[in-house]
Structures are given as C-alpha cells and as structure tokens.
Structure 1
Amino acid sequence: MKAIIIDQKQIVKNYVASYFFFDIVALCHSFIINNTYSDVFISWKSVYSFLCFIPVLSYLVRLKTFLNVVKDLIQIHSAKKSFCVVAYHTFLLVFLIHTFTCSIYAIPLWIHEDDVPDGSLLQIVENRASSRSSLYMECCLLVICNFLGVDYSEDITVPEEQLCLFIMIFSGRIYTLFLIADLLGVFGFTGTSESEYERHLAQLNALMRSENLPIDLRKKLVNYYECKYMRHHFNEDDIFSDMDDFMRTEILLFSARKLLLRIEAFQLISRTQFVDLFMHKKSTIYLTNDVISKRGSTVDKIYFICYGTVAVLNAKDREIIHIKDGDHFGLISYWTSPDLQHIFSHVAVETCEIFSVSTKEMNEFFARNQEAKKYFENKVRQTIQLYKRLDESISRGGTDLLSELRGKLLFEVPKLRPIALD
C-alpha cells in the first residue's frame, strides 16, 4: 500500500536506509578513480577494478529514478509521444552501453588479477589502447558490436569472459525487442482508438459526398469531429462507468478547474456539492460563429464556458462584449425575463467547449447553497449594469466590437487552447 510521508525525520531515515550510500559512491566516482589509479592499479588491479565497478552499480540502482526524471522533464515541455520514446530509449541505451563497457573490463580484471590467460579480451584491448580514454573506447566498441549484434574482429576464448559476453549479447537481444516494439507502437501502427477515429471519419466523408454537401459545411463537420474527439475515438460513458467515484470526481474537478478559479462561489462550497452540480452536465463543442443561445428562445439551461470566447449580442445583433474561460451566461435572462426568454444572443467567436446545466438543477443547487445564490445575484446585477452601459454607448453611435475588429482598431492576443490535434 502506497502512502505519502511528510515527517522529515522519517524521510531522512528512509533515504539513509535506501539510496544514501549509492548516491555518495556515485558522487565520489571521479575522486575514487583519479586518486587510486597510480598506486592501486599498479599493485592490485583487481582492487582497482572493484573500485571502478562500485559506482556503476550505484548508477544501476538509480536507473529507474533517472528515467522517471527524464520522462517528467519531457512531459513538462509538452513534447510529442514519438520524441518521448526516442529520448527515453536514447538515455537508456547510453546507460546500458556504459554499464557493460565498465563491466566487460572490470569483471575479468577482478577474476584474473595479474594472471591474464592468452586470448583474453584484456590482452586485446590493452594492446590496442595507449591511455585510459582509448582503453574505454576499445571496450565500448566491443560492447556496441556484441550488444547490437554486429560482428567483432577478435575471438574471445576465455570461458569466464565468454559467459560475460553471452549475458551481454542476450541482454542486447531482449532490449532490441522492446525497442522495436516501442518504435512500431509509435511510428508503425496506430492504436485502436485512432483506427476507430479514422473509420468513423471515413464514414462521415462518405455521408457528406452522398448528400452532396457544400464545401464550407464539409469543413465545418470535419473540424467539429476533430475538436470533439481529438483524433481519437472513444466511448466516454463506457470509460466513466468503469471508474470509481473518486476518479470521476478528480477528472471532473480538473476539467472544470477554470470555473473553480474564476467563480468565487464554487470555492466556498464543498467538493461534493460542486460535483453534484456538474456531474450531470452536458458538454458541447461549438465552432466559430455557431449560435449557442438566441435572443427570444426559452431559457432552460445555464451555460459555463470551459474554454473559448463567446460574443454577447444585443437586440440589434451588435456585439457588446466578449466573455471567456470560466465565465457563465443565462442567469440574467432566467432571473430578469418575465417570460423566461433569452435577452441576449450568444455566438462562439472561436472553438469553445461549453458546460450546460439545466435550470432545475441550478435551482436545487441554490436551494442548498444560499451564499452561492447571493454571489450569483450580485454578479448578475453587476453584469446587467455593465451590459446596459455598453448598449447605451453603442446606441449613441459608439462602435461595436465587430466593427472595431474589422477596422483593425482592436486586436486580441491569441490564446493556446487545450485541444490536442497532433
């Protein structure tokens, strides 16, 4: 069972009992090699080889930690999956080759000491090497050839060394199989969800051709399909049905995080109350210029913007303001319109994802949370005053947002929206 430890003494105790020794040895690697070479190597080669091999074991113990750090660094920069796989295997391959390079020299040296038999790889590499760096390169060349299955010019006849080479060659074959499987998974084959997406997209294209739909409508349908499924087809209901309540709650809180940050009333209520409100929400993707709600239509939903920009239009269909991530609309008309009809129209300025909650569920939520109701009532009053001032300004001859944008008098900073279309 996993547990989070926050006690500093316990953390130190666990670290000292696990990784502390290996980290100290790895940290002193260069000191051990450089300060023992001249004296120890001449007298006791086996002792020196053992000192060289200990840091390698320390690195091997920390291999999983190192690879996890590499994964985290790559994910922080939002790299593609293909780059992650290539970088991961590059670091792993370099580490394995370095480990076998040190082992292929240190282990025979430890076994034979000064009595090196004829045909030993120690004789082969030492005869070719003129310095420690060239000695390392000779061992590295031998490892690369055997690990990756390339022929090496010299024959090794010593049984102990042949066993080491067998282990290295066998490890190389196993690693090659995993490498090929990962590369084919990224570059060679598409996953089930991607194949299913392509199949449904082909059916959509066939339907559009049979109905002889215009080009603009075809592009809109394809764009909607891409934004909705993000190039991967999946059944959201089936996935959520297999999750427990805790996981569904965590996913919902993450998807609605901007609402939690922008709307103070949601920060004052419990997680359970927030989840109860949005658990049965309907999520809808709207493309550019799609009408979300039209003036005069019945107010039966309250809308919350998950991401995107929505334009608010007055009675003359002139834009008065843009509302963005975390904003909501529909309550003004629901609370102020006597016939429960929308006072304003709302149109998507860009691709948007909108959460909609029925007015019945909102009423039940307000009945349980009077403080939240007061917050939204104050917000509605402030928004009505703002819209009234903007509408009066436009009526007196002011310029609406659409005219300013077309006249290049108003520029908006583009935002990176959380839609994966790689």
Structure 2
Amino acid sequence: MIFVILDELVCLPFHYLLFDFTPEIHPFVSDMIWLSIRLFFNSFLLMNIVINAMTGYYDEPMQKVVLDLKLILMFLLVIPFNKYSKLVADYYNIEHYNYMTTLVVFYTVIFWHVMCCAIGFIRTNILHYCPSTQLFDVNTKQRTWSGITDDPENRVWVRYFNALHHKSLLLYNSGYGKELPQSELEIVLIYSVWYGSSLFCIYILAMIMEINTGRTSSAHKYDEMEKQLREYMRHKQLPTYMRSRILTYYEFKFQKRYFRENEILATISEQLRQEMNMHACRKLVENVIFFRNLPLNLLVRIISCLRIEVFLVNDVIIRANTPGASMYFISTGTVAIYTKSGKEVCHLEDGAHFGEIALLIKDTFRIASVIAVEVSEIYRLDQKDFVKAINPYPDLLANIQHIAEERMEISSMLDEYNRREMATKRGTYVG
C-alpha cells in the first residue's frame, strides 16, 4: 500500500502535468505501458477504498472500531500513509525522532511536487481555455508556457523542472512568476494556493515542534522501553512466539504510552486514590449479586484490595480441580468457562465476574476452568484481603457465605448432569 500511495502522490500529478488536450505532443503519457501501469495502480487503490468502506478502521487513540462512512472516507484520504509508514518504522526499529524527521521532509517534497504539477495543469490545460484567456491557439497547437512552446522536441523533464521553478513562487507567496493572471479564475486559484500553502507551512512547523518536544514525551519513552525490551529478548534468545506474546502484553498494558504508575499514585492523596479506584471498579463489584447493597465503607475497603492483571489469548486464569483463593472481575476482554469434563459453558465479557465461590468458602477446589479468549484486563480479589475487609461485619459475611454455598451446590449438580449425559452418549455409541 505504501508503494501504491507513493505512486499516486508522485506519478499521477506528473502524468497530469504532461497531459494535454493534444496528446500527440507528448507521446510519453499516452504510451500503452504507462497507461496500463496507471490503470493497475488506480484499480488497486479503488479496491482498497471499497474494502475499507465496508470494514471500517480501528481508531487507536479512542480504542474503538469506526464504521461511519464519512469518517472512513476521511481516514482513507488522510491517515493511511501515516499508518503504514509507522508499521514499517516499527518493524525495522526506526527511532521515533528519525521517523518523524523523515516524514517532515517527505511531506514537504510531496506537497511541493503535487501542488506545482496541479497548478501547472490547471493554468495550462483548463484556465487557458476560458474565453477571457488568449494564451492558447487551437490552429497552431502551441501554448506559451513560461517561455517554452509545446513541440515534439521539448523534453519532458525540461517542462517538469520549469514548472517546479515557476510554480514555487506561488507556493511560497513570492509572486506570480512570468505568467501574470489572465482571468478572474486564475486570481482565485492564486489566492487559494497562497492560503493553502500558508496552512501547510503551519502544519510543518507544528510537526517540527512535536519532534523537538517528542524526546521527552510518553510515546518516545515507550518506544525506548520497547527497544530495550526487544534487545533483552534477543539477548535471552527467546523464541519468536514468546517475543510476540511479551510485546502484545506491553502494548496492551501501556497503550504505547510509558508512565510510572506507582510514582504517580504516590503523589496523590489517599482520598483521591480511593475516588479513582471507586470510579474504575465500583460497577464491577456491584455487579456481584452478594456484594449489592453493601455499606459504602465496606465497598471502598473491598475495592482498595483489588489487584489488576493482564491475561493474553489462551492464558489459563483458573484451572479446574485446583485450590482457589481469589475471585476475578473482567474490566475489558472475554474469557471462556469450561466444566471439569472440558465442556465449554459460556463466554464472559466486560463487567462480568467469576471465582466467587473460592473467595467465600475455604479449602475449596475450582469447579471450572477459565481461559482468556482475547487480551483481557482483570481485577483479582484475594480471599485473605476480602476476609480482612469484611471482618467488622460478621452478619454480612455469614449471609454472603450462605448464598455462595447455594450457588456452589447448583454448579456441582450441573457438572454432574453433564458428566452423566456424556457417559450416556458414549454408552450409546459403544452399543
């Protein structure tokens, strides 16, 4: 896609700069090989646009999939080259500073090239056909174009570099060049070019400022940390699949922004930390049926005991028939529940919880296995922390334990039913 976009940005403007209403003057642009290449790249780009219009795109800063057709079309016009070039830079471990510097130089050259070709095409092939303009003579098939007449002996590159030289005066607001505006439409064109080039210069200055401040940004620190991580994994000679899992974990954990959470929280008061925890976890805790209507003080104490963990795809969170002493709350992600016999029961998603039986009944074994279906962020509540938090409320603890025992009994009956059903099917198959 990078090659296709580069072709559209470089070759297409060049093609239209040389295009003429009298194509025999420039046989280069009407050559069948050239036209076939142009048709192939245009078809490929059109196919990409159609596919993206149907599937949408992932907005990384907002962490959501965008399906709005207007936003998709805007994305296809502006963002793809940045996205693909960033992927290439990440693959080859190019430093953020060098990547951004190269991008600024590239944008400057491409803007200069595209605008010069566009201005040359509009002024010589469209505006000069207006009745108020007398620079084109249909009978002689000649055009005064910056002092050079169109004839078969003129070289393509002479015309191109001549266009760059004279149209640059318009782009940098230095004047009109040798061609004074001949109509109202040309004056509008010149003003539009002046304003557009001024806005582009502001954009380039903003990118340069971002480069200068980028060395201290969280994104740059994350890139440095990721680079050190890659070197460490290479030094340890870790297998490829393990490297991929570790990088996935870091990307999900930090969201490509490095920060020291412990140091940040250490500078915040206890009251503010409690408010942050309540905002992040209150709904998760209140979704548990036997945690509802708890006193606010107890709810705060329980939430303060939560520990966050990140599980990758196919990670085993809980294994059946093993001792358990924690329950879990799903902040983001999806997990699958399996019975002891290995039958998949259901999937749990954001806001769900599991493992509460082991939290409330001591010396119990897990009655199901839980495996991450996608990268998941999960809060863990340990039994010892929960008991310590609820000790001042013995009546509530007894009531919660009674509810948990009932649920455990129901789960055991369901598992026994599934085992009998599978045994019956095996007997039928053998018979």
Scaled by the length of structure 2, the TM-score of the pair is: 0.46
How does the TM-score come out when normalised to structure 1?
0.47
